[in-house]
Amino acid sequence: MKKSKRTKKSNFWRIKHRKDQFFKKSKTLGYRSRASFKLLELNKKFKIIKKNSYLLDLGSSPGSWSQIASKIITTGKILSIDIKKMEPIKNVKFLNCDIFDQSTKDKITFFFRGQLDVIISDMAANTTGNKSLDSIRTNQLCSEVLSLSTKILKPKGVLLSKLFMGDDFIEIKNLAKSIFKEVDFFKPESSRNESKETYLHCKSFKTL
């Protein structure tokens, strides 16, 4: 009985996924996933990425956001990092490693040499089935990205990171406001209605 319920739920998800307009459009346009449209919307609203941007994409696999960034950035640099493998993208340097290892931080520093303009992160923790726990774990990643940004981002740099609405949302919001002068939140139209995800946009450090 349990197996049957799981099978029905899985089939329902696949059917819903196929009917998703952004999923269909991503296939038509050759994007790596529907997440590409989230970055397109976010960039239209906040004007994050410019043709000469030095950009770091954290948790980049399968490469949806790096793919979009590579279409905009022509004279800058892009470094993408993930513990999962990612198929190559033209003009994108990929590191298959843990973002929060010290050796990785050293590689980021060497690559950008103090000129990092933008950090983008669409990272989410692996799901456990417990939505509250998943939210907490993903928001912890967001918190770690905020802390990392203070060490590698230019003073007037921009950070864009996924987080979930939950019990610790205010905590993340307050942390961001303690670090950056400008803090905004935005949920793209391409985010699923049932999803609690939103995106944190931060710009220009306060005095650290």
Annotated catalytic sites, by residue?
A: 162
Taking the C-alpha atoms of 183, 145, 193 and 13 in order, what is their torsion angle to the nearest 10 degrees?
170
- 92's CB contacts (< 8 A; 6+ apart) are 57, 63, 66, 69, 70, 78, 79, 80
Tokens of 204: 């220009």
Q: What is the DSSP letter of 53?
A: -
Alpha-carbon distances, residue 128 vs 12, 62, 134 (angstroms): 19, 20, 6
CB 134 within 8 A of CB 197: no
77 three-class SS: strand
CB 56 within 8 A of CB 109: no
- 199's CB contacts (< 8 A; 6+ apart) are 38, 42, 160, 161, 162, 163, 185, 186, 187, 188
